[in-house]
Amino acid sequence: MSDSSPSPTALIWDDALAGYRFRSGHPMDPRRLRLTVELIRSQGLVGDAPRPVLAPRMATEEELLLVHTREYVEAVKRLSAPGADVAEGRAWGLGTEDTPVVEGMHEKTAWLVGGVLVAAEAVMGGRVRRAFAPAGGLHHAMPARASGFCVYNDLAVAIRWMQREHGARVMYVDVDAHHGDGVQEVFYDDPEVLTVSFHESGLYLFPSTGFVDEMGAGDGYGYSVNVPLDVHTGDASWLAAFEALVPALAEAFRPDVIVLQCGCDGHVLDPLAHLRATTSLYERLVEIVVAVAEEHCEGRVVATGGGGYAIYTVVPRAWTLVWGALCGVPAPDEVPARWLEAVRRESGQDVSPVLRDPPGAFPPSARREEVEANNARMVQEVRRRVLPLVTGWGLAF
């Protein structure tokens, strides 16, 4: 299944994308995006063909309305104006600690959506095989409500766009530490979109959803798959769950394209979640997704960023590995000294000089055996529930 040959892959970026910032000190800090792109560039992994940088564009209102209600988009626009009535935001999930009202947020977030649309256009139009839009991945936004740092749901808009323009069957894979609840909600009754989310169990983490019994509704029953991982889950157990489900689900579903939300807040150093992944996990997960895409959908992958709040020590390294895996050109392990020095000057923090956290870099959880047993049982439960349904799709599991 593995295919390591280089493939045309686009990075969607412009410095304007670093404008999605709520306030100083907010965890969703765009410096992580700039540092990621600088690290990718410093390794010489992007530039001309076959690995171009494509500029984003602003999503149109019509495109936002593929997912969001007109009333909500109008409210976000009103709240974006200088001197807006912040109290009005509460009805729309805005003006909270997580998702404050910020001047210009309609335009800024429409740019993030447009970046993922550029990725989808480049992949579905055949210009490149895969694309990575690290500023996207705002998977909590609902059709009429902001949530968890997310105003508009770029992933859902891009999926709807691919359905409308290309009649695509879309497999959505989400490896963020938090459940991909907004994307699940939008496609909950849609059998043309298979959503698969791996995340820390909602028993312990926002948004408190994503349990195995959330399986879809109506015609979409069986097309929502949730894999809630135990707290302290490390690479081996996470990878085992992923390998037990993703290739088999793709085999049964036969997607035309895979959309991958690649939040890296499951890393052991992330301050918001309680998982214990290392950077190497994200490279491996993407390699698997790429191999599955090569087998079933001519290699088409539209990947985004997502969560990731250890902005200096983890995110740039994890997403540089993601980028290399998407390109089929593994990123060199050594982090350039120039980049390390610039980060040290900016943050006062020392970052690991290698992209891949070495084995033993972090002590294993004292609960490791229990965690692995819990996850193995949970995966069996997912397979027990999903198996009879996917064989009903007429294909082998």
Query: What number of other Cβ atoms are within 10 A of residue 86's Cβ?
Result: 12
Scan residues 273-312 and list those touching Zn ion (CB under 5 A): 307
Angle at 19 between CA 38 and CA 50, to 5 degrees: 40
What track of x and - describes contact with Zn ion for positions 30 through 69 (by CB under 5 A)? ----------------------------------------
| Tokens coding 352 | 């690991």
Q: Candidates 59-67, 183-191, 232-240, 262-270 — which segment interacts with Zn ion by CB under 5 A?
A: 262-270
Question: What is the radius of gyration, based on Cα positions, of the chain?
Answer: 20
Q: How far is the CB of 28 from Zn ion (least distance, A)?
A: 10
Question: 93 or 328: whose CB is closer to Zn ion?
Answer: 93
- Binding piece for Zn ion, criterion CB under 5 A, among 26-34, 82-90, 176-184, 335-343: 176-184
Taking the complex as a whole, the smallest distance from the CB of residue 205 to Zn ion amounts, in Å, to: 8
Residue 265 makes contact with Zn ion by CB under 5 A: yes
Site for Zn ion (CB under 5 A): which residue of 137, 180, 263, 266? 263
The set of residues, in sequence order, having a beta carbon less than 8 Å from that of 15 and lying 6+ positions away, is: 34
134/307 with CB nearer Zn ion: 307
Q: State in angstroms the smallest separation of the CB of 25 from Zn ion.
A: 18
**Nearest distance from C-beta of residue 332 to Zn ion, angstroms:** 28
**Of 27 and 336, CB closest to Zn ion:** 27
DSSP state of 379: H
Minimum CB distance to Zn ion, residue 341 (Å): 30
Q: What does the alpha-carbon distance between residue 211 and residue 229 come to, in Å, rounded to a whole number?
A: 10
Label residue 393 exposed, middle or buried (CB < 10 Å: 0-12, 13-18, 19+). Answer: middle
10 Å Cβ neighbour count for 395? 11
The H or E element spanning position 319 is: helix 315-327
CB nearer to Zn ion: give 176 or 357.
176
Report the residue number whose CB is nearest to Zn ion: 307
* Least distance (Å) between residue 167 CB and Zn ion: 31
Write out the two tokens for 358.
């070495």
Which CB atom, from 7 or from 304, has the smaller least distance to Zn ion?
Answer: 304
| Cβ proximity to Zn ion, 80 vs 279, nearer residue | 279
267 is a catalytic site residue: no
Closest CB to Zn ion among residues 32, 178: 178
The piece of 111-119, 236-244, 256-264, 344-352 that touches Zn ion (CB under 5 A) is 256-264
Burial 332-363 (b: 16+ CB within 10 A, else e): eeebbeebbeebeeeeeeebbeebbbeeeeee
- Selecting among 139, 140, 178, 274, the annotated active-site residue is 140
In angstroms, the Cα distances linking 30 to 10, 25, 303 are: 20, 11, 18
Residue 154 in the binding site for Zn ion (CB under 5 A): no
Give CA–CA dist 140/156, Å, rounded.
Answer: 10
The CB-of-308 to Zn ion minimum distance in angstroms stands at: 8
Residues 6 or more apart whose CB falls under 8 angstroms from that of 373 comprise none
Contact between 176 and Zn ion per CB under 5 A: yes
# residues near Zn ion by CB under 5 A = 6
Residues that bind Zn ion (CB under 5 A): 176-178, 263, 265, 307
Residues with a catalytic annotation lie at 140
